[in-house]
């Protein structure tokens, strides 16, 4: 399969009054085309630093990065038209309709307005496009954010914690959306700190901890490799019992 994303030996250290903090310590990640690839690790493990470095928002100290076979950051101007990304939660104007929001983004990016309806159809918001953003639920705002990243019709879509804060229904909707994107030829990199999200949504996974890759492979392979034969489930509320039972049943 063709590699859409290649990272080798990526290093980044932040320097501040409190002293140096190493965010990435020789990190590696390879993503093949036509997959939803999970980028899994606890908060502070280096996920966002990796994604921001890929997108040219910060500069790595050393390492090698390629997107669509082209060297980053040198070739970033050539590949940026083929990459959609949400690295931080976008801030939408609540009094604008969702359609006005995407229309303005198309104007700003010199993109055809026909992309607006296409993106709404893809994320399942076509019937709600004329409503103001402030009336949207969290899950709908997350899908609107994905729609904004789809306006370029990218070959690679990078999403930082897109399921964060969603209820089980919202996670199912996000999973279905990711699968539909792969079906039309996109590759998705989805970061998360929650294993259950990655297990439900992704085909393959890279696990990062303390700025280093700990393991990578298909989700099934990684789970089998590190399964202890027992599962401990921690829930924040009794309302999560049904979704936990569903996940455990699917993993048998």
Domains of the chain in start order, with CATH, are 3-250 (3.40.50.300)
Residue with tokens 């801030």: 91
- 3-12, 84-93, 103-112, 165-174: least confident range: 165-174
Q: What is the pLDDT of residue 207?
A: 96
Q: What is the DSSP string of 45-99?
A: SSHHHHHHHHTTSS--SEEEEEETTEEETTTHHHHGGGEEEESS-----TTSBHH
Report residue 161's pLDDT band, with 50, 70 and 90 as the boundaries: confident
Confidence of residue 168 (pLDDT cuts 50, 70, 90): confident
- Of the candidates 25, 16, 22, 3, the one whose C-alpha atom is nearest the C-alpha of residue 213 is 25
Q: What local confidence, expressed as pLDDT, does residue 55 receive?
A: 94
Report in angstroms the alpha-carbon separations of 242 from 94, 165, 194, 199, 245: 33, 17, 18, 17, 5
Residue pLDDT, tens place only, 187-199: 999 999 988 888 8
pLDDT computed for residue 199 by the predictor: 87
The residues, ordered by sequence, that sit 6+ positions from 67 with a Cβ below 8 Å of its Cβ are 4, 5, 54, 75, 76, 79, 83, 156
Q: What is the pLDDT of residue 16?
A: 84
Q: Average pLDDT in the 202-223 region?
A: 94
Rounded to whole angstroms, the Cα distance separating 49 from 60 reads 9
Q: Which contiguous run of DSSP H or E holds residue 24?
A: strand 21-32
Instruction: Encode pLDDT of 147-159 as tens digits.
Output: 999 999 999 999 9
Q: Each residue of 97-108: pLDDT tens digit?
A: 999 999 999 999
Asked which of 39-43, 136-140, 223-227 is least confident by mean pLDDT, the reply is 223-227
Question: 58-62, 86-90, 210-214: which has the minimum mean pLDDT?
Answer: 86-90
Spatial separation of the C-alpha atoms in residues 156 and 204, rounded to whole Å = 15
Averaged confidence pLDDT in the chain: 89
pLDDT tens per residue across span 80-91: 999 999 987 778
6-15, 112-121, 206-215, 231-240: which range is least confident on average?
231-240
Residue 56 pLDDT greater than 70, yes or no: yes
Prediction pTM value: 0.84
Work out the percent of the chain whose per-residue pLDDT is above 70: 89
The answer to whether the beta carbons of residues 233 and 251 sit under 8 Å apart is no
């Amino acid at each position: 399969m063709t590699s859409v994303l290649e990272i080798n030996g990526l290093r980044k250290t932040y320097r501040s009054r409190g002293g140096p903090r190493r965010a990435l310590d020789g990190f590696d990640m390879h993503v093949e085309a036509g997959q939803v690839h999970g980028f899994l690790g606890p908060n502070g493990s280096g996920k966002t630093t990796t994604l921001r470095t890929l997108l040219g928002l910060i500069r790595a100290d050393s390492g090698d990065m390629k997107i669509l076979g082209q060297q980053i950051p040198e070739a970033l101007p050539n590949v940026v038209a083929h990459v959609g990304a949400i690295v931080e939660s976008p801030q939408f104007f609540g009094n604008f309709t969702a359609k006005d929001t995407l229309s303005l983004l198309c104007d700003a990016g010199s993109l055809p307005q026909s992309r607006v309806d296409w993106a709404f159809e893809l994320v399942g918001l076509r019937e709600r496009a004329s409503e103001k953003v402030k009336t949207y639920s969290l899950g709908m705002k997350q899908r609107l954010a994905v729609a904004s990243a789809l306006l370029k019709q990218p070959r690679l879509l990078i999403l930082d914690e897109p399921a964060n804060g969603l209820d089980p229904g919202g996670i199912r909707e996000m999973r279905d959306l990711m699968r539909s994107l792969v079906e039309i030829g996109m590759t998705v990199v989805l970061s998360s700190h929650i294993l259950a999200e990655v297990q439900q949504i992704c085909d393959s996974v890279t696990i990062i901890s303390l700025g280093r890759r700990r393991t990578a492979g298909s989700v099934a392979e990684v789970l089998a490799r590190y399964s202890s034969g027992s599962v401990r489930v921690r829930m924040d509320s009794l309302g999560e019992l049904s979704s936990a039972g569903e996940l455990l049943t699917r993993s048998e």
